[in-house]
Structures are given as structure tokens and as C-alpha cells.
Amino acid sequence: MDDEIPTYLSSFLANVEGRPVPWDGAVRDGSLTEEHLAKIRACDRLKNTKQSDQTAARKRLVEADLDGYRLLFVGGPGKKSVLEMAASRQNDKVLKYILVLLNRLLEDVPALAKTLFKSADPYQHLLPLLAHSTHREDQMPLLAALPLAKLMASTKDETPSTVEKAVPTLLSYLSSLVKDSDAQLQDLGVQEFSTLLYGKVARQQFWDQRSETVAPLIDILRAAAGIPNGDSASSLWSGNASNLRTGTEGVLSGGVGLQLLYHVLLVMWQLSFDAETIGDDLNDEYDIVSLYTWLLRVSPKEKTTRLLVSTMYNLLSTNQNTLLPTAVLARLPLILQNLTARQITDPDLQEELTNLRELLEEYTKTKTTFDEYVAEVNSGHLRWSPPHRNTVFWAENAHKIFDFENGEVLRKLADIMKKPWENDKAVLAIACNDVGCLVREVPERRYQLEKLGLKTRVMELMGDKDENVRWESLRALGGWLRYSFDTK
């Protein structure tokens, strides 16, 4: 964690810990037992020592009675835990204090986490506290989330009780923090995400819940890149996203703090360990290659650049057939060339940058203009790249486009044209241009375009509000009219 968040967390936890709790009254009303109280007070007596001695003393105390503290926090046969008893009496003061104590002990005494798993379900009385109330000001869910994340991560547990129930519930709660308007809560939520990505099974669950987990992280990255809401793809492909740097120290475009950006990139890097299975979907759903290429252009620090480069290498090296073409279209090779020219002090970044450049150079050595065009269409987003206006390209490749993979390029082109592209009308203008070029070069096969609905769509676009779309659709339709009396 960075300096700011521990200060925020420590003051928050100290504030809860410092509130007086009427312990004797709590015993009388059934919120805990005398046995519970004895163990709590044993820890409390160590508070008067200095911090380093306090941590070591707590470790010795708990390790000498691991089963006793297990019963305190999660209970056992015939013995209720303090969490269960305090919750049943709705004694929030006791609950909050115990959650802070559990969080500290899990941090100071690694052996405690494994001991808690000796109980059938260590989460039984912790998970309900994540839904303690719907009020934003309620501290209970956050206080429960902290020890829950530590418990899972420190044991790296992948049993069904953890992966199928505890992790999904905790991820849903942490997602609410990441979406919060409070920057400190956002950053805390992101860092707890990172804590939970301790293994392949946990990462898969994180990905399965991507509408709650990945999507808000992408929103933060888009905000940092200066991309308006709902305009991500067009801004990235047209190069109209803004610069990350602003006049406020440590704060980037969209009000995103540098530390928050770093922690989001860290989570995405962890997720990229599974790039072979999720890489294509990650790009299809979130335009990750284009987004990361843009962020590389304006990354303010070497530590953020390194995470960007490393994540891109993980994605591209494991999905070469699908993502390398997209990276070339996004002009990643040029961005890497510019990065290499900088004075980089981090040797690991230098090495990773070299690896990524070599991967792209090897790919581009063997690719033709036709390959680039097919890759662009397959990406689902067109821009005015050189082939579209090149008459020689169309003369040499129009027949190949009709024949390639039994008309797959034409079907992709039809899919692109079906969309309204309200935020990037240039895509429709380019698609009309391409259809017109195909009709001009291979008029005898224009019926194939008609079967895909391309002629009808071109005619519809003659009434589009965008002047360039109307012009390109008119030019494309002219090709059909020219051959209107020809036989198919």
C-alpha cells in the first residue's frame, strides 16, 4: 500500500479501537462470555508497549493459544463465537471492536488464519456483516471485509466454501468501494481486489464477476486517459483521448490519483497471468489493447509504464493471432519506439520493453497490407488507414477479400455496418467506401454483398446526419447503379 492509504486505514481502525466498550455489561447481556473477555483483555494489556514489541507480544500470546483464539472468533462444537453472540444481541460496539482485533491478529499472527479453517465454516458469521446495512456511512461492512480478505489471501484457500461463496460475496462488496466517489475508499477497494487475486481459481472467479470487478477498473483507466463516458472506442482509435497529466500534483485526468492508477494497473497485471484464457474476451469487451496503447503514450511514471508493458506482453504473447494485429493497428510499435528513446532507469522495464518490441517486430516482418486490412476489419473498428484509399490495394486484393475464409471479411464488414456508431461516424463512412471499392473491382459478385444486406444498409445511410457518411454511401451506391443493367 502507498503512504496515504495506511494512514487513512490506521486512523480509521484506531478510531474504532479507541471507542469505549462496556465489556462487563456486554457479558451480562449475552454479547460474549467471560472466557471471550479474558482473551480480549489479554490482547488489550499489550497496548501500552511500543508498536514493535506489541506486535511480537501479540504473536507470542496468540500462538500459545491458537485453538482458544479460534473459538473466540469462529466458535466450535457447543461453543458460540463472540461474533455470533454479539450479532444476535445487535451489539455493534463489540462487533466492530472484535473485527478490528481479528484484522490485527491475522496480520501479526500468520498461523491464526490456518487455525481458523479447522472450523467447518470460518466465514459463517463474518460474511453476513458485509450486508449489515445499505447505509453508506455504516462502517461494519468495511471492518468485516478487511479480515475476510486477509483470511482468504494468507491461506490461499481454494476450497468450495471460499471460492464459491466467500470470494464472490466479498468481491461484490469491494466492487461497491471501487465505484464509490471517495478516492480513499476506491483505492482501498482496488487494493483488496489485488489481495484476493492469489491464485488461478480466485482470478477466474474475479473474471466471472467482471461486470462488478473488471468493468469499474476499466472505467477508472478510461477516466485517467481522458475518455468521455460512452465514447471509449472512438476516442482511442481516433487519438482524441486527453493527456494524463494535469496541474494538480499526483492527480491525473478525470480526477484519478497516481496511486489509484498504479493499483488498478497492478490488478489488471495480476489478471493478465491468465491471458491465454481471457485475453480475447478482455479485448473484445473492453478494447484493452487500444486503451493500454494510449495509456503507454502518456504514462506519467516508470512504475505505471512497467505494469502497462508487462500486461501487454502477457496478453499479446499468449494471443498472437488475434491481438497482435490489433496492437499493430493501434500503432503500438511506434509507441514502443518512442518509449525506447526515453531515458529509462528501471532495468526490468528496459528488458520487458525489449521483449515486447521483439514480439511485435517478428509479427510485422511477415505481414502484408492484406493481412493488416483483414485484421482491422476483424477488430470491429475501422479507421482511415492506408488501404482504404489505395486503388492499387483494391485492384490487387478485392477478389481475395470475397474469397477469404468463405466470405468472413464481408460478414464482419456487414456486422460493423449494422451498428449506429453514434460516437464515431467515420466508421460508417469508411465501411461505405470499402463496399463501393468492392463493387467497382468485382461487380459480378455484388450479389454476395446484397445477400448480406450491404446494399440496403448503404441506401439507408444516404439519409444519415453525418455529411461524410452521406457522401461515401452515395459513392458506393453509384457502383451498383453503374452495373444495374448487368446480369449477375
Answer whether 133's CB lies under 8 Å from 175's CB. Answer: no
Give the single-character DSSP code of 486: S
Residues 321-357 pLDDT 10s: 889 988 988 889 999 999 988 889 999 999 999 999 9
C-alpha cell belonging to residue 297: 503514450
Residue 98, SS3? helix
Taking residues 365-371, what's their average pLDDT?
85
- Find the length of the chain: 488
pTM of the prediction? 0.84
Residue 313 has what pLDDT? 98
Encode pLDDT of 45-91 as tens digits.
988 777 778 889 999 999 999 999 999 999 999 999 999 999 999 99
Report the C-alpha gap between 240 and 59 in whole angstroms: 55
Model confidence pLDDT, tens digit, residues 171-192: 999 999 999 999 999 999 999 9
Residue 55's SS3 state is: helix
For the chain, percent of residues with pLDDT exceeding 90: 72
Taking the C-alpha atoms of residue 308 and residue 67, their distance in angstroms, rounded to an integer, is 45
Quote the DSSP letter at residue 227: P
- Separation CA 334–CA 364 (nearest Å): 12
pLDDT digits (tens, 9 = 90+) for 251-298: 776 789 999 999 999 999 999 999 999 999 999 899 999 999 999 998
Task: Kindly tell me if the per-residue pLDDT of 247 is higher than 80.
Answer: no
